């Protein structure tokens, strides 16, 4: 299914978001390509899986195609990862009528927590929760794909400089 993805991403300042967090989902995701576009496989709670293809466009928008795939195929594809397999627990957090995804990383990026929000358009101005730290939208070192390809971790400072 095709969608346009427009999102902003932030470091997380503290754990107060947990008071409004929904049911967590454990994600494993791997990238299968190294060019400017991305092919990602994601295993969700070990019970469902999807294959996502993203194409960069102008600004914050990305064309995104996502398909549900069998779990066993996802496990097989993850073995073909280019770089690290990203491990994280995702929480959906409601703030002023909008859903935020808060990712608590494990494995190579344990200690890193990022929040992102999907927007209707690039000029969308969602209310920012107090628990957010520095915005890292567009900072490639905090993209999951770049983290999967990195030979070393980004700084883990919650608020950063």
Q: What is the token pair recorded at 35?
A: 């060019």
67 is catalytic: no
Contacts for 155 with CB less than 8 Å, ≥ 6 apart: none
Strand order in the sheet with 132-135: 2-5, 62-68, 48-56, 38-44, 25-31, 86-95, 98-105, 113-118, 7-12, 132-135
Structure tokens at 147: 């983290």
Measuring CA to CA, which residue among 95, 74, 94, 93 is closest to residue 28? 74
Identified catalytic residue from 31, 91, 109, 142? 31
Residues belonging to the active site: 31
């Amino acid at each position: 299914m095709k969608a346009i993805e427009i999102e902003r991403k932030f470091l997380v300042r503290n754990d107060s978001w947990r008071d409004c967090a929904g049911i967590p989902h454990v994600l494993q995701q791997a990238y299968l390509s190294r060019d400017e576009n991305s092919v990602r496989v994601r295993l969700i709670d070990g019970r469902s899986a999807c294959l996502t293809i993203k194409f960069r466009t102008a600004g914050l928008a990305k064309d995104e195609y996502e398909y549900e795939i069998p779990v066993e195929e996802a496990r097989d594809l993850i073995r073909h990862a280019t770089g690290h397999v990203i491990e994280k627990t995702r929480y959906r957090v409601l703030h002023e009528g909008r859903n935020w995804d808060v990712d608590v990383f494990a494995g190579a990026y344990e200690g890193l927590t990022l929040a992102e929000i999907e927007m209707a358009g690039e000029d969308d101005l969602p209310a920012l929760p107090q628990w957010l730290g520095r915005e890292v939208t567009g900072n490639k070192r905090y993209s999951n794909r770049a983290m999967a390809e990195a030979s070393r971790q980004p700084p883990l400072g919650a608020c950063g400089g």
